[in-house]
Chains A and B, each alone.
Chain A
Amino acid sequence: MEFAKYIFKRILQTIPLLIIVSLISFFIIRLSPVDPLAELRLNPSISQETLNKEIKRLNLDKPIYIQYFSWAKSFVKGDLGYTSAGEKVSVKLKERIPNTLLLTLVVIFMTWAVGVPLGILSAIKKETAFDRMLTILASIGMAIPSFFFAILMLMFAVKTGWFPVGGLTSYDFNDLGFGAKIIDIAKHLCLPALVLFTISLSGLQRQMRANMLEVLDSDYVKFARAKGLSEWKVVFKHALRNAVNPMITLLGFEFAGLLSGAALTEYVFQYPGLGRLILEAVMKSDINLVMASLMMGTIMLILGNLIADILLMITDPRLRRGGE
């Protein structure tokens, strides 16, 4: 009951937030001096009539606030409208969402499965050669720009021929057997996943290490040690449970990032994900597409935080008491 009330309250709070976010982003995009019909205009074979028809279809002849209201009205009804090229926004998003989910889920799974244990390990083995090595690698991982790393990986793929150059499936994908299909996708996923993995791993590893160190330094751990508990028990039963709390908040953010995609990496690898779609849409001021993705991002962020908060309430008894 208490949970339900809390969740309901949080959801109510999101409504003004959504309105403000949509207002600000809509006006910023529309007021920028970008012409969504630029490509059409520069095509000598396009007549004035075609341009007028497009301007009318996209409501560009109306004042901005009317454009906003007509967008908001259809958004509330669940209609995301059409892109400036005349395709359904919902269809475009649906094409890309599975691809982006696939990539981000693989990457999140890999980083957490590797990053958390590595963080714990380097906290326990603080200041040893192993820890230093990890520190160096993490610094490199954090310092290297994702697009640059992605380009290096692409060149690697071209020179060795071990991996396909970008994309998600081979051209003859549909003629392959089931097993071959899975191998084909895995081959295409390897490099982009590796790039994103390397970059997010370092952050996560450092975060976990810092949390763990802080907890290992606290009085109750010293007390547990003094009690004569085995090191194993001290670390995993007492320290880890407390060190993991900030990570849950982080997991909430990861959830928000599920659908936002990694535009630069996707672009370099020509990965058919949402990030690339949105990047191209922003450059062309394709308002319905940009707004749909921004709203999706906002909702995912709110949801992610909500989930993280609920998880925290479950794991951390202190918060539950505070909530009353």
Chain B
Amino acid sequence: MINKIWGKLWRLIFILLIAALCLKACIRRDVPRHFPQKLPDSSIENIIYPDKNKNVTINGIDFLQTQAPVGKFGGELILSTIGEGPKTFNPCNSKDATSSSMAGMLYDGLVTTEPRTGEVIPLLAKDFEVNGNDYIVHLRHGVKWSDGKPITADDVMYTYQEIIFKGLGNPSSMENMKVEGKLPSIVKIDDYTVKFTTPKPFAPFLRQLSTPIVPKHYFKPYSDKGESEFNAFLSPNTPPEEIVSNGAFKLKEYVAAQRVVFVRNPDYYKINTQNERLPYLDKVVYMIVGDTNNEILKFEAGELDLLSIRGENVARYKLREPNSDYKIYNLGPDTGTLFLLFNLNNRKDSDGKWYVNPIKQKWFSNRDFRAAVDWAVDRKNMVQNIAKGVAKPLFTAESLNSIYLNKYIKGHPKDKKVAEDSLKKAGFYNKNGILYDSDGNRVEFDLYTNAGVLEREALGVMIKQDLEDLGMKVNFKPIEFNTLVNKLSNTNDWDMAIMGLTGSPLEPNDGKNVWKSTGPLHLFNQRPQNYKVDDRLEWEKELDEIFELGAQKLTFEERKPVYDRYQTIIYNQKPIIYLYSPIRIAAIRNKFKNVFPTPLSGLVYNLDELYIEDGELK
């Protein structure tokens, strides 16, 4: 009897305990329920930027001198990289963003980008002259590789002639330098001067000189052995002390799936105004984290010094900022674009089967149909509800921070009336809320996106609703990322898709793989490789011409109207309907100084100038 009562009592206590714990969790809230709808004011307009870098020669060594305030030496910065970490440290063989940025830590190129204006400025080169198609580059005297050997014209010659122009590693860098199938030539003038000549005027070339320069004496034994040896060279498991580099930081260790640690290069050629060699920081650590959630947790636990904050989290971080040890910066719209894509493919596959059902082909190839979709989607609603206000509506093919952005394209709000008129014009009719085309077929199609990305799935649901208001039937199908890409670029069996791409805010020619009619990423009308038939649409022809012409004009003033035109064509023809660009918000711990964020280059492009304020050093 007593046993039974005890048993019941136990159960009661247990249940009460669980309930109490659950309730406790509900009561505690660290943020008020009402988030401010306004974007946090952390603009970077009031930042006073230092003057531009200067060249200073001391004891025969050509230094690069930063004009940023003098800081304190020591300390470490802990950053994160999302994904699996670097796949190689070989800058000539990197094919993904993480590998490129890690290799970029180790190897400097001849030139770099001015972080605010985007113009090309010297880095490893002392200076350069451009005369028509000739590019003369002067190297710095007395600058050394990490093993003490001097950096000379031979290294530059080697990097271009024996690696890039031969297509070793990642042949994209070679392909991107070709003008009408021809490569530039390179001549050594003396030990510290080289001259590049492009076969025709080619504007993107100057910026391509930012390709990292590698040490001949270290790379040559491997590049001589051919493709497969070179691909395995500088794999992440290379002993760090072996690596010969010239960047501000040297590799200290790589721990698979955990972190990459860089240490200060004491022989770096950049100095401060007191002529002390930079960088200030002893160490820069990249923690390899699997996803953004883990990144957020690590930042909150103090294990990271910097965090990119996305949509829904911005308000929360902003509210906490005054009582925290970090500062938030609003870097403006980023280079990422989200868009809705139509499949304009009107070809048959090798078995004679249509890629796209001919009934649907008729809809998608109709500009008025595409315009109706454009007018029906509610970008404002998307920005408010999906991006939580941390984004801007987008109407142009160039991203909003691009220096080539066509500012005349103003866009338009959602207007169901215009959409309906447009459909009527194209011969569609609406009966009992169901949309039929002029042949009496019901308008029904599939809309794909990659599953697992909450933002895109929410976009799909919203677009589906907007289009179903017009009477269309949309089958929204989120599928796995790699499967989706297979559909988009190989099997071509899709109707509409929501995708995103990152572009370059500085060089519109980088988008040629997307816009040229034979480009491997011409997603909205993907032609097979080596396709001989000319079935280009009128405006596709014009785009081809624009991308040929734009690359051959050398000055910004000449190029701007050309690239304005391409954005106008895309906006008028609407093969791709742009939706919005997220705004980049980032937080960095207060103790770091010399932080000069810019919309073009982000928050910590100047790792060599960052320092930790006195008293914060361990």
Contacts and interface: CB of A to CB of B under 8 A. Distances in A.
Interface of A: 32-36, 38-53, 85-88, 91-92, 95-96, 128-129, 132-133, 136, 154-155, 157-158, 161, 164-169, 171, 173-174, 267, 270, 272, 276-277, 280, 283-285
A129 B8 CA distance: 10
B171 to A, nearest CB: 4
7 contacts: A44-B514, A45-B176, A48-B520, A86-B231, A155-B297, A158-B301, A270-B257
Interface stretch (B401-409, B462-470, B480-488, B535-543): B480-488
Among A33, A45, A133, A169, the most chain B Cβ lie within 10 Å of the Cβ of A45
Nearest to A286: B482
Given A33-B483, A44-B511, A129-B10, A49 B167 contact: yes
B545 interface: no
B255 interface: yes
A47 B171 contact: yes
Contacts of A128: 3
A129 B7 contact: yes
Q: 3 tightest CB-CB pairs across the interface, nearest first?
A: A38-B485, A272-B257, A35-B486
B233 to A, nearest CB: 11
Interface of B: 3, 6-7, 10, 14, 78, 84, 87-88, 93, 95-96, 167, 170-172, 174-176, 231-232, 235-237, 253, 255-259, 261, 285, 287, 289-290, 294, 297-298, 300-303, 480-491, 499, 501-504, 510-511, 513-514, 520-521, 529
A132 B485 contact: no
Given A129-B7, A270-B289, A283-B480, A165 B298 contact: yes
A87 B258 contact: no
Contacts of B520: 41, 46-48, 51
B256 A272 contact: yes
Given A32-B483, A87-B87, A166-B289, 6 more contacts: A41-B488, A45-B172, A46-B95, A86-B93, A86-B232, A158-B300
Contacts of A169: 255, 258
A42 B521 contact: yes
A40 B95 contact: yes
A92 B235 CA distance: 11
A120 to B, nearest CB: 22
B255 A35 contact: no
A34 B95 contact: no
A47 B301 contact: no
A261 B88 CA distance: 26
A44 B513 contact: yes
Nearest to A39: B96
Contacts of B6: 129
A157 B257 contact: no
Given A41-B520, A46-B172, A86-B88, A96 B301 contact: no
A171 B78 CA distance: 9
Contacts of A166: 289, 294, 297-298
B374 to A, nearest CB: 23
Contacts of A285: 482
Contacts of B504: 45
Contacts of B489: 35, 41
A34 B521 contact: no
B501 A44 contact: yes
B515 to A, nearest CB: 10
Contact of B7 (A132, A168, A173): A132
Nearest to B487: A33
Contacts of B176: 45, 47
Contact of B237 (A40, A91, A267): A91
Contacts of B503: 44
A184 to B, nearest CB: 12
B513 A45 contact: yes
Contacts of A38: 481-482, 484-486
B482 A168 contact: no
A42 B482 contact: no
A41 B485 contact: yes
Contacts of B253: 174
A31 to B, nearest CB: 12
A87 B235 contact: yes
Given A158-B297, A165-B297, A168-B258, A136 B529 contact: no
Contacts of A32: 483
Contact of A35 (B87, B257, B485, B511): B485
Contacts of A40: 95-96
Contacts of A50: 95, 170-172, 175
Contacts of A276: 257, 290
A35 B513 contact: no
Nearest to A280: B84
A9 B470 CA distance: 70
A52 B520 CA distance: 11
A308 B213 CA distance: 58
B257 A36 contact: no
A173 B254 CA distance: 12
Among B87, B93, B514, the most chain A Cβ lie within 10 Å of the Cβ of B87
Contact of B258 (A165, A272, A283): A272
A25 B152 CA distance: 53
Contacts of B287: 167, 171
Among A43, A91, A171, A283, the most chain B Cβ lie within 10 Å of the Cβ of A171
Nearest to B97: A43
A45 B204 CA distance: 13
Nearest to B255: A169
B398 to A, nearest CB: 12
A35 B482 contact: yes
Contacts of A44: 501-503, 510-511, 513-514, 521
A47 B84 contact: no
Among B95, B285, B289, B300, the most chain A Cβ lie within 10 Å of the Cβ of B95
B471 to A, nearest CB: 31
A85 B97 CA distance: 13
Contacts of B172: 45-47, 49-50
Nearest to A267: B290
Nearest to A269: B294
Nearest to B83: A280
A303 to B, nearest CB: 26
A277 B170 CA distance: 25
B303 A277 contact: no
A301 B395 CA distance: 56
Nearest to A154: B297
Contacts of B290: 267, 270, 276
Contact of A34 (B93, B480, B513): B480
A166 B259 CA distance: 12
Contacts of A173: 255
Contacts of A42: 485, 499, 501, 521
Among B175, B256, B529, the most chain A Cβ lie within 10 Å of the Cβ of B256
Nearest to A163: B301
Nearest to A164: B303
A318 B421 CA distance: 86
A53 B259 CA distance: 30
Among A47, A49, A166, A280, the most chain B Cβ lie within 10 Å of the Cβ of A47
A47 B485 contact: no
Contacts of B501: 42, 44
Nearest to B174: A49
Contacts of A51: 520
Contacts of B485: 35, 38-39, 41-42
Nearest to B499: A42
A169 B521 CA distance: 41
Contacts of A174: 253, 261
A36 B482 CA distance: 7
A235 B87 CA distance: 57
B176 to A, nearest CB: 7
A47 B499 CA distance: 20
A111 to B, nearest CB: 23
A168 B303 CA distance: 13
A198 B491 CA distance: 46
A42 to B, nearest CB: 6
